[in-house]
Amino acid sequence: MDIAKRDLDPVRGVPDIYTPTVAEIIRRFSLFSTVKMLVVVDGGISLTEAPSAFGVGRLVRLLRESRIGCKHFDVELATREGVQSTNATPAANQPRYTGFRFDQTEGGQASINRYHQIWCFGFNPDNNAGPDSNITQSFRNPTSDEELATLTTWMNTRRGGVLAIGDHDYLGASMCHRIPRIRSMRRWTNAQGVPPIGGALRHDTNQPFTPGQLAGSEEIPFLAQEDSKPQSIEWVPWMTERVSIFKLRKRPHPVLCHPSLGPINVMPDHPHEGWCYDDDEIDVTATYAFGDVAGDEYPTVNGEQPRPTVIAYGHTTPDPPYQLEKGRSPRKRFGMVSVYDGHAANVGRVATDSTWHHVFDENIQGIEQAGGDNWAKISRYYLNLASWLTPPGVGQWCLFTEVLKTHFTYLGFQEYVRSASAFSLGQSLHLHLQRQLGACWVSQWVFDVLKIIDLDLWAALKEWVRPDPARATLGLASPSFEALELAILGGLVRATFPIADALKEQAHKVAFSVDAHDHAKKAAHRVDVDLADKVQLEGAAIGLAELRSALTRSAKDLEIFLRPGTPAKGGDCRG
């Protein structure tokens, strides 16, 4: 069973006596952990799920059906085509907004203020490989300056997350090619050098499937994009940590991290994908101006300037030696997925992809039907995007509720010893959270909370866990990042002991009584988001203090190695 589905049973493993209390806490925090999403499409992209549909119906259903921890997704739809109207009660595959514009209002404020994320799937101007002048023709519904001013303000002040995707050529440029950050992280226009639909310069990732195709004696058809074989992708290490003198441990970005299967290293294939810019191709000094809304595209805060980064590369299928229906094309490496962590600069996060065929019904149908690890990884990619793009303050208590819940499971009963060190407490919790959320997500949470309690250490750690291969130092005296994780998680366990104790005491007082559920609700109401925020920061500080104390003791142990020794008098190798 996929972990995202298993999470739909929030009290799994909790004894009956505590179930009402834990269920009520999770229910209450879920009210603050609903991620509101708006999926915006051009008219050529379908919202209705169908086996070979050119659209996002299956993606939308997956998001609506899934949850990660206590975080779940409420997805509404919009199309930029048609006369502007709002349907307050749309069916599952119907748009709430027709003729949608980013600057339209509802209830006296911008409609987009109802959402935490906006996912843009653009098709316009057309699929005719025309000139860039087509992009801004009025009947292509290009995004206006007024729309961009509203959208940029939402991205900056509300930290709204944006995913924007096109395909080959200039597909999607009318909607997306001027959105801040998005516009410079991916190629959208002919002027930017978009890959074409045909010819040797296209990005053809269709995979050989039959023995003849694998041998190069049979042609790989265009419709290979609909079969059950995905392409392999090259994930880029997000965290690289030296765990011994000669050994490095690498992890992908959290967007490409599966909780139990490791790196997400596959993606649906397609005969002509788009292209994300490499990191060093992006002008991080660029500015934008949409009327009165102007600023730095990549702002600097507290001396830190987060930069966009490619987290996955694709490799085209070479012809020769294979035979591709669309003709010869040499092997090429291209940026496939790029992300920008705006939270570090107090703005929204952004992600883009080389093609929306990585999520379209026609491309995922065969992989989903086959099931197995490939579908588990690819579907988790979608959920990871939805989780990672969420603004701070939405769903940030999911880890807190998961930790609190463990006090009412075997972990709390058997592993959480009060006299144990933060490292020991953290180790038990760490293993549990890795199974539930994945190692990358645990690290991301530690990074996020560390930024709040110790900005200097956070800034230093960003470079520390991404070591320069040319750097001479082996970091022999540095603690592992895992030690930091264990200490902070152990501190969180320690900080939640008083809350768990009080809830257990109340549960035993009213155990199995007729009004047990009412008492559980009253007890759960005392655990609110303010308390969760306070306890998370207190726990992290407790763990960090214990780590520093341990490092101080370790530093004394190193002194003997740091000072010159005294040779033995008269001694030699012969005794």
3-state secondary structure of 120: strand
Lowest mean pLDDT among 147-156, 527-536, 551-560: 551-560
Is a pLDDT exceeding 50 seen at residue 3? no
* pLDDT tens readout for residues 301-332: 988 899 999 999 999 999 999 999 999 999 99
Are 134 and 221 members of one domain? yes
Q: Which residue has the higher pLDDT, 497 or 26?
A: 497
321: which 2 tokens?
């030696």
For 84-131, write each residue's pLDDT tens digit: 999 999 999 999 999 999 999 999 999 999 999 999 999 999 999 999
Query: For residue 19, is it within any domain?
Result: no
pLDDT tier for residue 250 given thresholds of 50, 70 and 90: confident
Point out which residues pair with 120 in neighbouring strands.
40, 164
Across 160-164, 529-533, 569-573, the highest mean pLDDT is recorded for 160-164
Q: How confident is the model at residue 341 (pLDDT cuts 50, 70, 90)?
A: very high
Say whether pLDDT at 366 is over 90.
yes
| pLDDT of amino acid 398 | 82
Residue that is last in its domain, among 341, 368, 388:
388
Say whether both 471 and 553 belong to one domain.
yes
Does 23 reside within a domain?
no
- Round to whole Å and give the CA distance between 47 and 36: 18
Question: 401-451, pLDDT tens digit by residue?
Answer: 889 999 999 999 999 999 999 999 999 999 999 888 888 888 888 988 988
Please tell me the distance from the alpha carbon of residue 143 to that of residue 392, in angstroms, as a whole number: 27
Instruction: List the Cα angle 272/193/274 in 5-degree steps.
Output: 25
pLDDT (tens digit per residue) in 210-232 = 999 999 999 999 999 999 999 99
110 and 259 within one domain: yes
Sign for the CA dihedral angle at 471, 455, 304, 530 comes to positive
Adjacent-strand bridge partners of 530? none
What gap in Å lies between CA 210 and CA 219, rounded to an integer? 10
Evaluate if residue 371 carries a pLDDT over 80: yes
Give 465's pLDDT tier (boundaries 50, 70, 90): low
- Total count of domains within the chain: 2
Q: Is the pLDDT of residue 475 over 80?
A: no
Q: Are residues 227 and 356 in the same domain?
A: yes
pLDDT at position 407 is 95
Measured distance CA(76)–CA(95) in Å, rounded: 7
Same domain, 353 and 418: no
pLDDT > 70? residue 1: no
Are 356 and 408 in the same domain?
no
Q: Over 90: is that where the pLDDT of 474 sits?
A: no
Predicted pLDDT of residue 548: 93
Q: Looking at the chain, how many residues does it have?
A: 575
454 and 370 share one domain: no
Does residue 567 belong to any structural domain of this protein?
A: no
Percent of the chain with pLDDT over 70: 92
Answer yes or no: are the C-beta atoms of 346 and 301 closer than 8 Å.
Answer: yes
Q: What is the pLDDT of residue 21?
A: 85
Residue 20 inside a domain? The answer is: no
381 shares its domain with 403? no
In this predicted structure, the answer to whether residue 289 has a pLDDT above a threshold of 90 is: yes
- Burial label, 512 (beta-carbon count in 10 A; 0-12, 13-18, 19+): exposed
CB atoms within 10 A of CB 330: 10
Domain boundary residue among 334, 364, 388?
Answer: 388
pLDDT of 19 > 60? The answer is yes
Per the DSSP assignment, residues forming a β-bridge with 119 are: 39, 163
Q: Are residues 378 and 413 in the same domain?
A: no
* Contact yes or no for 403/429 (Cβ under 8 A): yes
pLDDT of residue 464: 65
* Residue 13 maps to a domain: no
Q: Indicate the average pLDDT of the chain.
A: 90
Write a three-state SS string for 309-367: EEEEEEECCCECCCEECCCCECCCEEEEEEEECHHHHCCCCEEEECCHHHCCHHHHHHH
- Within-domain flag for 110: yes
Query: Do 265 and 406 belong to one domain?
Result: no
Q: Of 224-233, 294-303, 467-476, 477-486, where does mean pLDDT reach its minimum?
A: 467-476
Question: Is 17 inside any structural domain?
Answer: no
Q: Do 58 and 206 fall within a single domain?
A: yes
Range of the domain at 545: 398-560
Q: Which long-range contacts (CB under 8 A, 24 or more apart) does 520-523 make?
A: 520/20, 520/21, 520/23, 520/24, 521/24, 523/21, 523/24
Residue 243: pLDDT band by 50, 70, 90 thresholds? low
Q: What is the DSSP string of 48-61?
A: S--TT-SBSHHHHH
Whether residue 505 has pLDDT greater than 50: yes
Structure token digits, residue 147: 């729309």
How confident is the model over 532-557, as a mean pLDDT? 91
Has this prediction a pTM greater than 0.85? yes
Mean per-residue pLDDT, 37-60: 96
Structural domain ending residue among the three candidates 388, 421, 441: 388
pLDDT at 573: 63
Split at pLDDT 50, 70, 90, the class of 472 is: very low
Phi/psi at 421 (nearest 5 deg)? -70, 165
Q: Where residue 4 falls among pLDDT bands split at 50, 70, 90?
A: low
Give the least confident one: 3-7, 16-20, 71-75: 3-7
8 is a domain residue: no
**Are both 351 and 434 inside the same structural domain?**
no
Query: What sign does the dihedral 410-411-415-420 (CA atoms) show?
Result: negative
Whether the Cβ atoms of residue 496 and residue 404 lie closer than 8 Å to each other: yes
pLDDT attached to residue 256: 97
**What percent of the chain stands above pLDDT 90?**
69
